[in-house]
Chain A
Amino acid sequence: MLMQVETDSACYHCGEPIPADCNLSAEIDGASRAMCCPGCQAVARLIADSGLDAFYRLRTSLNETPSQQATKELYALYDAPENNQDFVTETAAEECRAQLLLGGITCAACTWLIESALLATAGVSAANVNLAQQSLVVSWDPQQLPLSEIFQKLASLGYDPHPWAVSAGAELLQREQRGALRELALAGIAMMQVGMFAIALHAGDIQGIAAEYRSLMRWVSLIIATVVVLYSARSFFRNAWINLRHGRLVMDLPVALAIGLAYLASAWATLSQQGQVYFDSIAMFTFFLLLGRYLERSVRQGEILRQTDLQTLLPPAATLKTESGWATIASRSIERGQVLLLKSGEVIPADGIVLSGSGSVDEAAFTGEHFPRELTRGDSVAAGTLLTEGGAEMEVTADAAGSRLASMLQLLGQAGGEKPQLARVADQVAAGFVGVVLCIAAAVACYWYLQAPERALWITLSVLVVTCPCALALATPTALTAAHARLRRQGLLLTGENLLETLNHCSKVLFDKTGTLTQGKLQRIRLQTCGELDAADCLQLAAALEVHSSHPIAAAFSDVEVTQQLLDVEVIPGQGVRARLGDDQLLIGNPLFVRSKCAAADQPPTSRGHWIALAKNAQLLAWIELADSLRPDAESLVQALQARGLAVELLTGDHSDQGPLIARKLGMDEVHSGISPQQKLAYIQQLQAAGECVAMVGDGLNDAPVLAAADCAFAVNQATDLAKSRADAILLGNKLHSLLAAFNTAHDSRRVIRQNMVWALSYNLLAIPLAASGLIPPWAAAIGMSASSLLVVLNSLRLK
């Protein structure tokens, strides 16, 4: 389905609603299209100017709104060999290859856009984007083009490039994935070949066939089936054997037994020229089982690859104070006691204490708090937080490995290990089933050996084939595969295997506030004038001032196009911005700061909420209220969840009264505000100890341990990679409502799995007595087995 924005009320690039006083546009395919912010406009213009307008006709989902976080200076660090050796390899003389991860890829048209744009750049010889992994492999000539230019190009197209240091684990995973595909491909082709001979053999059974040709076809089938059993099906045998040695009966055991026994019996039938062969069933069964596993694997692989490690959260380089001045060093060589320079807009590379300077630091990663903390001399800062404004010198108190960030990751590892693993229902059923089947088969064999020894082998085989747990083995994985596909279409990417089962037992849904229920960015909600200028003029002045600040508050004005040119701009970290327009002195900032410079000291209109003040020549012009706005679908989601009988709670690290306020507005059942990640974790574990099954929805690094501990964990799309890697599912797109789809699908898939199980078990129970009494010839048993498996597959497909 192609995705087009046709109305003028939504941004043509990202689909966000266009703010009332915004008048931006870009010319695409000869028509002027409305844009919601300068970021979207810049990206859209670049795409159109490169002659790549076709992107907008080809895309199947809307773009993400571009964020301009990283700067040219940061990308320039990657040009130095000591900072890029992790992800760049020299492939030939004058050619290097880099591996990057890209944020913001939404559909196949993005891969086309990126590849086309890069290939049109002089110096780039090859570019290949992998959509599933959201990764890019690019080859270029470093003589012609620095690597930072490639980063810059990607950023200007609206994507967020990160170096991708390929770990041994990721490479192993790719090898395994290719291995699985090889096994699947072989089983598929073999299935078709054996199937053709099987049709000839079955026809021969009915119409008569010369023994000579029957034997020929059986021999050929035997050869092909041998390859399948030895190559494609080996993982079943290996798993079954490893688990058996540890005394566990798993689903792979009956699968391995069925494949093994059917193969041996068929081979015996071929050699002795009597009885029945089941080569087609063997190949088909192997193929369908491998297919289910392969699909399930490939869904998860992309996310596993992006498992974040410490290095990717920290900047690649830092500025070190030396005797001769400032020097850029790689972050990994930072040591305790060194003095580093922190610049505005940079991620802090190590834990430390501020020696001089000032600024404000965004610690949302740790606290979930989106208002920055002011820094002065003697304050401590943590690695992985962002200096939004100002500049400072700090003394390193702990390197990356000893930082608070590292201990947070450690906490995460522990929580992940403690995650309650649901007992696999299918495996338990299978274990009991295998035991029973083997006993029955043994009893049948003994009985017939005493009664009619010449029929004993074939009747026993019929029993084993008829009771082959194929349908039982396929019941769960096929239903889950279909459910995954359905959820993917509804905007939810499943990464954990147990989510759909667990969701049915879920009794409580916990939400994080900032970035999850809210959009995680400040917006203007009110402007109250109290001076000579009207609201529109005030807004113009405010935007003109804030455009110079990198504080998150400034983002609330990014939708206003700045027309005035200010002089003598001075950004006072944590306080506000001061500038001159003509002869007028302008001032914007927090109420305390502005009032201290104003003649009349007014109070903000209300004591609640977050206000900033705008003043001209020491006269107050306007009060502007900012708030983190709720996602539009938050309220209906909470109601819908409650209608399903779930308790909905809010867990937030925010100390202010915003938490209770939002909870009341949304009608949530309980709220816990101002609690640390450790307390959140303890709360969840306490609920679990009381027998509750808890689902958690979150986004930040601070939510990651809690997500790892929750029974069902959801991360929103803008979540940090770390939070995503700990979640069982990721809400793609920007809609919380996909969460409801997950609950619905979980319910449906449980129903389908139950139907499959009931069918498979009752078929077996009915067929066993018939086979044991010698009424079912082996060929009819084989047809029955295939038919029952097929029925299970078709029933599962209904979920799609």
Chain B
Amino acid sequence: MDSLYILIPIALVFCAVAIKLLLWAIDNGQYDDLDKEASRILMDDADKPGDSQARD
């Protein structure tokens, strides 16, 4: 059980890194428009202009 003394602080460090990343993404404007990002996955690269034949 002594491993908890190492594992829990490590978990805290991960947690801090995750928060830091999330805050960076927010400040970077990545969450400014949630409506659009939700549909982005549907609009894949094959639909880029110019190669409309490639998708089928």
One digit per residue, 1 when the CB lies within 8 angstroms of any chain A CB and 0 when it does not, for chain B 27-42 equals 1000111111011101
Taking the nearest CB of chain A, how far is it from the CB of B52, in angstroms? 4
One digit per residue, 1 when the CB lies within 8 angstroms of any chain A CB and 0 when it does not, for chain B 7-41 equals 01001100100110011001100011111101110
* Given A50-B49, A54-B52, also A112-B15 (CB < 8 A): no
One digit per residue, 1 when the CB lies within 8 angstroms of any chain A CB and 0 when it does not, for chain B 45-56 equals 001111110010
* Given A51-B49, A108-B38, A178-B26, also A220-B19 (CB < 8 A): no
Q: Is the CB of A109 within 8 A of B39?
A: yes
Distance of A190 Cα from B51 Cα, bound (Å): 46
Given contacts A51-B52, A133-B33, A298-B34, 7 further A-B contacts (CB under 8 A): A119-B49, A130-B33, A178-B32, A185-B19, A220-B8, A223-B12, A224-B12
Distance of A660 Cα from B30 Cα, bound (Å): 53
Taking the nearest CB of chain A, how far is it from the CB of B14, in angstroms? 10
* Given A132-B35, A220-B8, also A182-B52 (CB < 8 A): no
* Given A181-B26, A216-B5, A220-B8, also A131-B49 (CB < 8 A): no
A244 within 8 A of partner (CB): no
Count how many pairs of residues, one from A and one from B, have CB atoms less than 8 Å apart in the complex: 92
Pick from B18, B36, B50: contact of A111, CB below 8 A: B36
* Given A181-B26, A185-B23, also A216-B4 (CB < 8 A): yes
Q: Is the CB of A58 within 8 A of B39?
A: yes
Q: Is the CB of A131 within 8 A of B36?
A: yes
Q: Is the CB of A108 within 8 A of B49?
A: no
Q: Is the CB of A178 within 8 A of B39?
A: no
A129 within 8 A of partner (CB): yes
Q: Is the CB of A131 within 8 A of B8?
A: no
* Given A131-B35, A132-B34, A189-B19, also A58-B42 (CB < 8 A): yes
Q: Is the CB of B33 within 8 A of A54?
A: no
Contacts of B33 in A (CB 8 A): 129-133
B: number of interface residues (CB 8 Å): 31
Contacts of A189 in B (CB 8 A): 15, 18-19, 22
Q: Is the CB of A108 within 8 A of B27?
A: no
Q: Is the CB of A130 within 8 A of B26?
A: no
Q: Is the CB of B36 within 8 A of A216?
A: no
* Given A185-B23, A189-B18, A216-B8, also A120-B38 (CB < 8 A): no
Closest B residue, CB atoms, query A179: B26
Distance of A60 Cα from B42 Cα, bound (Å): 12
Distance of A150 Cα from B4 Cα, bound (Å): 60
Distance of A181 Cα from B22 Cα, bound (Å): 10
Q: Is the CB of B35 within 8 A of A108?
A: yes
Contacts of A129 in B (CB 8 A): 33, 36
Q: Is the CB of B23 within 8 A of A182?
A: yes
Contacts of A111 in B (CB 8 A): 36
Q: Pick from A54, A120, A133, A193 the residue with the most CB of B within 10 Å.
A: A54
Taking the nearest CB of chain A, how far is it from the CB of B2, in angstroms? 10
Size range of the interface on A?
35 or more
Q: Is the CB of A193 within 8 A of B36?
A: no
Q: Is the CB of A116 within 8 A of B49?
A: yes
Taking the nearest CB of chain A, how far is it from the CB of B23, in angstroms? 6
Taking the nearest CB of chain B, how far is it from the CB of A53, in angstroms? 6
- CB within 8 Å of B: which residues of A? 50-54, 58, 60, 107-109, 111-112, 116-117, 119-120, 129-133, 174, 177-178, 181-182, 185-186, 189-190, 193, 210, 213, 216-217, 220, 223-224, 298
Taking the nearest CB of chain B, how far is it from the CB of A167, in angstroms? 17
Taking the nearest CB of chain A, how far is it from the CB of B12, in angstroms? 7
Contacts of A190 in B (CB 8 A): 15
Contacts A/B (CB < 8 Å), 20 sampled: A51-B49, A51-B51, A52-B47, A52-B49, A54-B47, A108-B35, A108-B38, A108-B43, A112-B39, A112-B47, A116-B47, A130-B36, A131-B33, A132-B35, A178-B27, A181-B31, A190-B15, A193-B15, A216-B5, A217-B8
Taking the nearest CB of chain A, how far is it from the CB of B4, in angstroms? 6
Pick from A53, A112, A119, A177: contact of B43, CB below 8 A: A112
Taking the nearest CB of chain B, how far is it from the CB of A212, in angstroms? 9
Pick from B43, B50, B51: contact of A58, CB below 8 A: B43
Closest A residue, CB atoms, query B46: A54
Q: Is the CB of B49 within 8 A of A186?
A: no
Contacts of A216 in B (CB 8 A): 4-5, 8
Distance of A133 Cα from B29 Cα, bound (Å): 13
Distance of A133 Cα from B33 Cα, bound (Å): 8
Distance of A7 Cα from B19 Cα, bound (Å): 50
Closest B residue, CB atoms, query A181: B26
Contacts of B47 in A (CB 8 A): 52, 54, 58, 112, 116
Closest A residue, CB atoms, query B47: A54
Taking the nearest CB of chain A, how far is it from the CB of B21, in angstroms? 10
* Given A189-B18, A213-B4, also A109-B43 (CB < 8 A): yes
Contacts of A52 in B (CB 8 A): 47, 49, 52
Taking the nearest CB of chain B, how far is it from the CB of A294, in angstroms? 10
Contacts of B48 in A (CB 8 A): 116
Those 6 A-B pairs whose CB atoms lie nearest each other, nearest first: A108-B39, A51-B52, A54-B47, A131-B35, A131-B36, A130-B33
Q: Is the CB of B49 within 8 A of A185?
A: no
Distance of A51 Cα from B38 Cα, bound (Å): 23
Contacts of B50 in A (CB 8 A): 51, 120
Distance of A177 Cα from B33 Cα, bound (Å): 11
Distance of A210 Cα from B2 Cα, bound (Å): 12
Contacts of B1 in A (CB 8 A): 210, 213
Pick from B12, B23, B26, B34: contact of A220, CB below 8 A: B12
Taking the nearest CB of chain B, how far is it from the CB of A399, in angstroms? 37
Contacts of A107 in B (CB 8 A): 39
Distance of A440 Cα from B14 Cα, bound (Å): 44
Q: Is the CB of A54 within 8 A of B55?
A: yes
Taking the nearest CB of chain A, how far is it from the CB of B8, in angstroms? 6
Taking the nearest CB of chain B, how far is it from the CB of A301, in angstroms? 10
Q: Pick from B4, B18, B27, B36 the residue with the most CB of A within 10 Å.
A: B36
Contacts of A130 in B (CB 8 A): 32-33, 36
Closest B residue, CB atoms, query A200: B4
Pick from A54, A133, A185: contact of B22, CB below 8 A: A185
Distance of A60 Cα from B36 Cα, bound (Å): 12
* Given A54-B47, A174-B32, also A186-B19 (CB < 8 A): yes
Pick from A60, A117, A132, A174: contact of B39, CB below 8 A: A60
Contacts of B5 in A (CB 8 A): 216
Contacts of B26 in A (CB 8 A): 178, 181-182, 185
Taking the nearest CB of chain A, how far is it from the CB of B3, in angstroms? 11
Q: Is the CB of A193 within 8 A of B35?
A: no
Closest A residue, CB atoms, query B9: A220
Distance of A190 Cα from B5 Cα, bound (Å): 19
Taking the nearest CB of chain B, how far is it from the CB of A106, in angstroms? 11
Taking the nearest CB of chain A, how far is it from the CB of B53, in angstroms? 9
Taking the nearest CB of chain B, how far is it from the CB of A687, in angstroms? 38
Closest A residue, CB atoms, query B38: A108
Taking the nearest CB of chain B, how far is it from the CB of A417, in angstroms? 31
Distance of A182 Cα from B48 Cα, bound (Å): 33
Taking the nearest CB of chain B, how far is it from the CB of A57, in angstroms? 9
Contacts of A186 in B (CB 8 A): 19, 22-23
* Given A111-B36, A185-B19, A185-B23, also A193-B11 (CB < 8 A): yes
Closest B residue, CB atoms, query A227: B19
Taking the nearest CB of chain B, how far is it from the CB of A170, in angstroms? 13
Q: Is the CB of B36 within 8 A of A108?
A: yes
Taking the nearest CB of chain A, how far is it from the CB of B26, in angstroms? 5
Contacts of A217 in B (CB 8 A): 8
Distance of A187 Cα from B56 Cα, bound (Å): 44
Taking the nearest CB of chain B, how far is it from the CB of A47, in angstroms? 10
Distance of A566 Cα from B53 Cα, bound (Å): 42
Distance of A111 Cα from B35 Cα, bound (Å): 10
